A and B are shown apart, each in its own frame.
Chain A
Amino acid sequence: MTNGLNLKLKIWRQKNQSSDGQLKDYHVKDISPDMSFLEMLDTLNEELESNGEEPVAFEHDCREGICGSCSMVVNGKPHGPERGTTVCQLHMRRFSDGDTLVIEPWRAKAFPIIKDLVVERSAFDRIIAAGGFITARTGSAPDGNAVQIPKEHAELAMDAAACIGCGACVAACKNASAMLFVAAKVSHLSLLPQGKVEARKRVLDMVKVMDQEGFGNCTNTQACEVECPKEIKIENIARLNREWIKASAAARDV
């Protein structure tokens, strides 16, 4: 291919959670601009594998920007330079021949590195388990149209619910705060009438677990909003703050 890219990659290699990692240099040649970023890494990995070397471990699954598995920082930017895009949907036409790309894992104490670019994000699951749901026992639901929901609320809830739980917000935040993630879920659920019943308990419990997991504090820098591949707005963080204040002021047991 004539218009293939030649790139220098500096990739974080780390054997496991307890060992130290470091950046290692690699070169890839003749990368098609139509490749996705992960396909570029596939190319590198296949080359490594055929030489009997261990390929770079990275998480990926759907490769269409929705599962939230992929998680790498490219030149300091979670999911790479393109806004509103997961790294699996980032295409190599975004880069130029001769570029150097530094590829690192998410870095947060609450997301320990398991290997190379793979981090453990189960802290997010524990936050959801703490309250990120509406209790609706299977079988107990009334008719779907029993409760009208203003279109605007449904749309705002959907905006927030679009979160894919990838953790880019944490990776981007200078404080490794998970507020955007938590805010997205709290907003999604508290905007809907069904979610209001448990709203107070939900927000207090989720924030409590968020703190316990070791995420940092939000200082309103907005980096999360900029890097969120689903462009979730910090308006949701404001809503989370509001919900938390309401709940804290009214709670009888704190």
Chain B
Amino acid sequence: MSRLSHFFTTSIGQKQLMAITGLVWVLFLIGHLSGNLSLLLGPEAFNAYAEFLSSQPLLIPVEIVLSIILLTHVFLAIRITIQNRTARGTKYMHKDASGANFASRSMILTGLLIFAFMIIHLMNFKFGGYEDHDLKLYGLVMEKFTHPEFSLMYLGFMLVLGAHLVHAIQSVFQTFGWNHPIYTPLIKRISLALALILATGFAYLPLWAWLIKKGGV
């Protein structure tokens, strides 16, 4: 336990925990997107995938663990932000970002937006009553996304997710101590690509449902 508190109470320890918890969720996102792409294959495939997931006996424990990890990430983010604001004290009269990009400066903002989005997302789908729908989850998804404002909201949030991930993924490597003049630029490019794939992948689904399939089956 003392080792855990060592990580929780030191600056670099918190940083490691942020990276590890974040990384778990990046992996989750990769899995989630791969699964979600079955939407493109039609109701049978998608609903079978959803059915497969919900029938797993470990689903609940995994969900609990993921939630704890997420809450840790959020809790630490908030605490770090407060610590960091305190560390600055008086703000500069004349501000200049000193080379730091928007994504890296806005992690707390994009992070909190993503957290809010996750609640909305769960309310709409996981707890959106898809069992009652004719076409189960597939039907619910297609129906929701035909509402332009709903789809647009999703697009907006995916933009935010992209911004968060652009900084987050490559940052993990730095935090774990992997920085090398040759590999790091490569890692940054791969991170950027992964962030783009995840954000556009997730953004493509509502667009597809709304504009291409027009909610149809």
CA distance A227 to B98 in the complex (A): 7
Which of B10, B80, B101, B171 is the most central at the interface, judged by chain A CB atoms within 10 Å of its CB?
B10
Q: Is the CB of B104 within 8 A of A216?
A: no
CA distance A7 to B210 in the complex (A): 58
Q: Is the CB of A216 within 8 A of B83?
A: yes
Q: Is the CB of A76 within 8 A of B96?
A: yes
Q: Is the CB of B89 within 8 A of A221?
A: no
Q: Is the CB of B94 within 8 A of A76?
A: yes
Tell which of B13-21, B56-64, B121-129, B150-158 binds the partner.
B13-21
Tell me the smallest distance from the CB of B136 to a CB of chain A, in Å. 42
Q: Number of A interface residues, CB 8 Å? A: 50
Residues 198-254 of A contacting B (Cβ, < 8 Å): 207-208, 210-211, 214-223, 225-227, 234-235, 237-245, 248, 254
Residues 98-123 of A contacting B (Cβ, < 8 Å): 102, 104, 107-110
Nearest CB in chain A to that of B86: its residue: A109
Residues of A within 8 A of B175 (CB): 220, 241
Contact with A along B175-190 (1 / 0, CB 8 A): 1111111001000000
Nearest CB in chain A to that of B80: its residue: A217
Residues of A within 8 A of B97 (CB): 174, 223
Residues of B within 8 A of A172 (CB): 98
Number of residue pairs spanning A and B whose beta carbons lie under 8 angstroms apart:
146
Residues of B within 8 A of A75 (CB): 94, 96
CA distance A78 to B94 in the complex (A): 11
Q: Is the CB of A109 within 8 A of B93?
A: no
Q: Is the CB of A241 within 8 A of B174?
A: yes
Q: Is the CB of A245 within 8 A of B16?
A: yes
Contact with B along A40-78 (1 / 0, CB 8 A): 000000000000000000000000000000000101111
CA distance A225 to B7 in the complex (A): 25
Instruction: Decide: A219 near B7, CB < 8 A? Known: A78-B98, A109-B89, A242-B177.
Output: no
Q: Is the CB of A239 within 8 A of B177?
A: yes
Tell me the smallest distance from the CB of A138 to a CB of chain B, in Å. 33
Q: Is the CB of A238 within 8 A of B177?
A: yes
Chain A binding surface, main DSSP class: mixed
Residues of A within 8 A of B32 (CB): none
Residue in B10, B84, B171 whose beta carbon sits within 8 Å of that of A174 in the complex = B84
Residue in B11, B14, B88, B92 whose beta carbon sits within 8 Å of that of A76 in the complex = B92
B167 close to A (CB within 8 Å): yes
Contact with A along B72-105 (1 / 0, CB 8 A): 0000000010011011111111111111110011
Q: Is the CB of A235 within 8 A of B11?
A: no
Tell me the smallest distance from the CB of A9 to a CB of chain B, in Å. 12
A175 close to B (CB within 8 Å): yes
CA distance A110 to B83 in the complex (A): 12
Residues of A within 8 A of B100 (CB): 174, 221-223, 226
Instruction: Decide: A254 near B89, CB < 8 A? Known: A238-B177, A238-B178, A238-B179.
Output: no
Q: Is the CB of B174 within 8 A of A237?
A: yes
B55 close to A (CB within 8 Å): no
CA distance A235 to B177 in the complex (A): 8
CA distance A245 to B10 in the complex (A): 12
Residues of B within 8 A of A107 (CB): 88-92
CA distance A58 to B173 in the complex (A): 39
CA distance A221 to B175 in the complex (A): 12
Residue in A10, A207, A226 whose beta carbon sits within 8 Å of that of B12 in the complex = A207
Q: Is the CB of A217 within 8 A of B94?
A: no
B6 close to A (CB within 8 Å): yes
Q: Is the CB of B98 within 8 A of A223?
A: yes
A85 close to B (CB within 8 Å): no
Q: List 24 A-B contacts (CB under 8 A).
A: A12-B93, A73-B92, A75-B96, A76-B96, A76-B98, A77-B98, A108-B89, A175-B88, A176-B87, A176-B88, A211-B11, A216-B11, A217-B84, A218-B11, A221-B104, A222-B100, A234-B179, A237-B179, A240-B12, A241-B12, A241-B16, A242-B176, A242-B178, A248-B3
